[in-house]
Structure 1
Amino acid sequence: MAPVPSHSAHPDDAPESYVGLDAEDAGRLARSRGWTTVRSLPPGSIITMEYLAGRLNFEVENGRVRRCWHG
């Protein structure tokens, strides 16, 4: 019997590809690539450390993505 394919917890996507993009454009692009949750945060934000599969985080400054990570 063939193995059952497993669905990745998040899209096969490089978070660094969003750095430098306009935040709104980056959010639309991320959703089109399969991210279920996209979170934009200002630099230095206090955030929870829980990991959420399918979430992409943007650190946004002056309307541009400065840093990006998943979870």
Structure 2
Amino acid sequence: MAPIPTPPAEPQDSPDAYVGLTADRAEHLARERGWSAVRALAPGTVITMEYRVGRLNFEVKDGRVARAWKG
């Protein structure tokens, strides 16, 4: 039987650190810190709620990150 795969580790990084940054700066910094996927969303965007290891989500309002969360 094949071993169960180990999911990749997420960066030890707080999503709250991105709130207030410009969307471009936040995305650049997140990728620099090891996030494999970064998703910028407008407020109220309908999204799926599956959790993806290594993904960081930003809610962007007026060009700045208003909220950030993992998955």
* TM-score for the superposition, normalised by structure 1: 0.88
The residue that corresponds to 2:33 in the other structure is: 33
**CA distance in 2: counterparts of 1:67 and 1:54, whole angstroms:** 17
Q: Who is 1:42 aligned against?
A: 42
Q: Number of aligned pairs?
A: 66
CA positional deviation for 1:7: 7.4
Aligned-pair identity in percent equals 59
Structure 1 runs of 4+ off > 2 angstroms?
6-9
Normalising by structure 2, we get a TM-score of 0.88
The equivalent of 2:3 in structure 1 is none
What RMSD, in angstroms, separates the aligned Cα atoms of the two structures?
1.4
Shift of 1:8: 5.5
**Alpha-carbon offset, residue 9 of structure 1:** 2.7
Unaligned runs of 5+ in 1: 1-5
